[in-house]
Chain A
Amino acid sequence: MVELEFVIGDPRVCTGCMICVNVCSMRFFKTISPARSRARVLRIEPALDFPLFCRNCEDAPCIDACPEGAIRRTKKGTVIISEAKCTGTGDCVEACPYAAIKINPDTGKAIKCIQCGECVSRCPVDALQITTREKLQETDPDGEILSLHDEHADILYGKEETP
């Protein structure tokens, strides 16, 4: 089995500038729009800024949740959504434990991060990395990045409002 990659950010380093979010909507939808971005940034006072992306889960509940069979994993391990098959039921949005899938209001279809890395290379403070669970243990040996995410899970992944 291939090592599953995902993008994660360090909330202690991220400044909250949202360049990653805007790079994403511009790259995929040629517009500036956090509501159409596959990334999001959430600021938690007093001093944490969380850039948030698809975690590319091993069990990927979004795949099973889709009634149209529109979500699958590629050979490289990336979970992707077929635009042709997606009918925008929103079941994947509900199933995602990380609130990392949303419905693009223009197309009515689900969108999520596919680890293209465009935002990672443009982050002005190098707060982002494409990594795997194993690699992350090397770059963040104390596990602080993941534990900060876990600690604030309620706020970060609450399904408050869409898009």
Chain B
Amino acid sequence: MKGVGGEILWIDLTEQEIDARPIEESMVRKFLLGAGFLSKVLFDHIPADADPLSSENVLGIATGLLTGSMFPQASRHLVAALSPLTGIWGESHAAGFWGPELKMAGYDAIIFKGISPEPVYLNIRDDDVALVDAKNIWGKDVFETDELLHKRHGKKCRILSIGPAGENLVRFAAIMNDRDRASARSGLGAVMGSKKVKAISVRGTGKIDVADPDNYLKEMDRFHKRMLDNPFTPERAKYGTTNLVEMMQEIGRLPSYNFRQGVFDEYEKISGQKIYDEHLVKARADWCCLQRCGRVTTVREGPYKYTGGAPEFETQSSLGSRCGNDNVESVLFGHHLANKYGMDTISLGGTISWAMEAWDEGLLTEEDTEGIDLSWGNAEAIIELTKMIAHREGFGDLLAEGSAKAAEEIGRGTEKFVMAVKKQEIAGQEPRAQKSMGLAAATAARGADHLYAFPVLDEAGFDDEIRERFGEEYLPEMTDRLNPKYKGIMVKECEDYMVVVESVGLCKYGTQIPPEFYYPAVSKAIQIHNGIELSEKQLKEIGERIVNINRLFNAMRGITRKDDSLPKRLTQQAAPTGPSKGQTVELDDMLEEYYEERGWNLESGLPTKETLRRLSLEEEMKRTGLW
């Protein structure tokens, strides 16, 4: 097989043993690499009753088949484990240069088992792979760790690490790489922290040989041209994802005040235009990225002074509108701190906004918060809590558990303000203004999630792509974001495609929004890069297989239809104001259509035997002991 590193590193931390094993093409043909590969490995290796922070959990980091290729945005790697936030399937993805570098060193994935007796970091320099004492680095933040390891191993190595949040087992801690890139969701930084692995430094001086070197540049030129010519690209290059604030406000989809409503009156103060005008330093790209949505921003003076990686829309929403906070400098600085400490900003803002609403309702008081005023929009409190959560200090220790567990502990009726699914906080997508997002949050394998399906085709008028991907017969209903009809069909298809995208190491920008590249492009890229023939039909089946094995993983941990739910606020309370006023999420109707389309049982929400047989997952089905 071409276009890969060739080996998987299996690391037993308890025994401090490292073993490199070749990747198997039969496995790749069934699950690809990245998300699919880890789905299978973790299903096989994590016991059903394992505690996420125990030595039984397995932490996997994998590149995709196309990671390190010259396909647009082929920069990504994926991290997966049993999530300490949700207790079910946990995965998270990031761009950067770390994944391509790992391939250059000759490896496609790293699997960590056990727990190291002492803090260590993994140092990879081509064939030299070693666990190194990390006592002097433990306790350092992400940026300090990056600088220290560069000093030690040279400026060309690429660093992945956890910060204090991961060390302190914050349940939504991230794994960071290349300074400001985050595998943020699912709390996998805490898994890395529990295993006492501080960082992975990689330097690869090898090469990625491709299947069709003679035509490679010519073919890649065509893909690059398509990406550059797409009308979305200049806009993305200018604003990154930050101007989604304006777009979401316009359609009433900007979660505000902990999802009380989908519009934020002060939205202009935290908008993409505001950041562009006053805080942008430059656009930055990851490996072979033509869209360059990454950016460097700055706050020049005052308490929130910094220069560094910029926020995405999700942080503007989570630390901004969701907390009723219109102080953009605090949003930017809060993002910077979350990167420095290594935390997911979505769950961070989601947890703080839960506390703010509970405060607003009189259910939390100064006695709980040790004097911190949690009034909506208190920027100072948001920054203070960010630091306290990362270090598990005072009230921050409770919030470090995430909103669902914190509410369980506090009680007093605060549970009803938890805006989460399967204990993970919902991202910045108000589903009453886009029904497909509600269904996607309810069904995603890692708990509330906009990216597992990323069903954005009905968001911005991609009627032609919907026609091409689904067929004329689904129009106009499928293109109408307020109409629940056909959204089950759409979300199913989007989930299957997005897990394929996560398995080949591409970005959802370019494959889903804008929907420039679809299965034929991915199939072609795998052919010229890896030399494997996988048709559109085969790739679709692999995607479906991955979603189903994720479902089996969760079923073993008690997940059924009852868990594919949304907070009652979204399904029973009409949006009170804005363009989506009067809307609720018709979840049950969409779920029925979704299960039917998936070949899952309507009552249990679990795959039928026939479906699992069709996808060659009988062996896995038997091992769950549920069928």
A16 to B221 alpha-carbon distance, docked (Å): 18
**B451 contacts chain A at the CB level, 8 A cutoff:** no
Q: In the complex, which residues 117-163 of chain A have their Cβ closer than 8 Å to any Cβ of chain B?
A: 122, 124-125, 155, 160-161, 163
Residues of A within 8 A of B290 (CB): 17, 19, 124
Q: Using an 8 Å CB-CB cutoff, how does the interface string of A1-41 with B read, 1 for contact, 0 for none?
A: 00000000000110111110011011101111111100000
Say how far B220's CB is from chain A's closest CB, in angstroms.
8
A17 to B294 alpha-carbon distance, docked (Å): 11
**B232 contacts chain A at the CB level, 8 A cutoff:** no
A47 to B68 alpha-carbon distance, docked (Å): 23
**B282 contacts chain A at the CB level, 8 A cutoff:** yes
Residues of A within 8 A of B179 (CB): 45
Q: Which residue of A lies closest to B207 (CB)?
A: A33
Q: In the complex, which residues 150-167 of chain B have their Cβ closer than 8 Å to any Cβ of chain A?
A: 154-156
Whether the Cβ atoms of A124 and B210 lie closer than 8 Å is: no
Binding-face segment, B9-17, B211-219, B411-419? B211-219
Whether the Cβ atoms of A32 and B69 lie closer than 8 Å is: yes
A74 to B198 alpha-carbon distance, docked (Å): 52
Residues of A within 8 A of B380 (CB): none
**B600 contacts chain A at the CB level, 8 A cutoff:** no
Q: Using an 8 Å CB-CB cutoff, how does the interface string of B177-201 with A read, 1 for contact, 0 for none?
A: 0010000000000000000000000
Partner of B287, one of A18, A26, A31, A124: A18
Whether the Cβ atoms of A16 and B285 lie closer than 8 Å is: yes
Which range contains the number of B residues in contact with the other chain?
Answer: 35 or more
**B1 contacts chain A at the CB level, 8 A cutoff:** no
Q: Among the interface residues B69, B221, B282, B296, which one has the most CB atoms of the partner chain A within 10 A?
A: B282
**B312 contacts chain A at the CB level, 8 A cutoff:** no
Partner of B68, one of A30, A32, A122, A161: A32
Interface of A is mostly: loop
Say how far A14's CB is from chain B's closest CB, in angstroms.
9
Whether the Cβ atoms of B154 and A161 lie closer than 8 Å is: yes
**B501 contacts chain A at the CB level, 8 A cutoff:** no
Q: Among the interface residues B69, B156, B207, which one has the most CB atoms of the partner chain A within 10 A?
A: B207
Say how far B287's CB is from chain A's closest CB, in angstroms.
6
Known contacts A23-B217, A105-B205, A161-B154; A17 and B287 CB within 8 A of each other: yes
A18 to B288 alpha-carbon distance, docked (Å): 6
Say how far A125's CB is from chain B's closest CB, in angstroms.
7
Say how far B300's CB is from chain A's closest CB, in angstroms.
13
Whether the Cβ atoms of B228 and A47 lie closer than 8 Å is: no
The 5 nearest A-B residue pairs measured at CB: A33-B207, A15-B285, A30-B213, A17-B285, A32-B208
Interface residues of A (CB under 8 A from B): 12-13, 15-19, 22-23, 25-27, 29-36, 42, 45-47, 49, 105, 122, 124-125, 155, 160-161, 163
In the complex, besides A17-B285, A22-B70, 7 extra interface pairs with C-beta distance below 8 angstroms are A15-B283, A18-B287, A30-B216, A32-B210, A33-B104, A33-B206, A35-B207
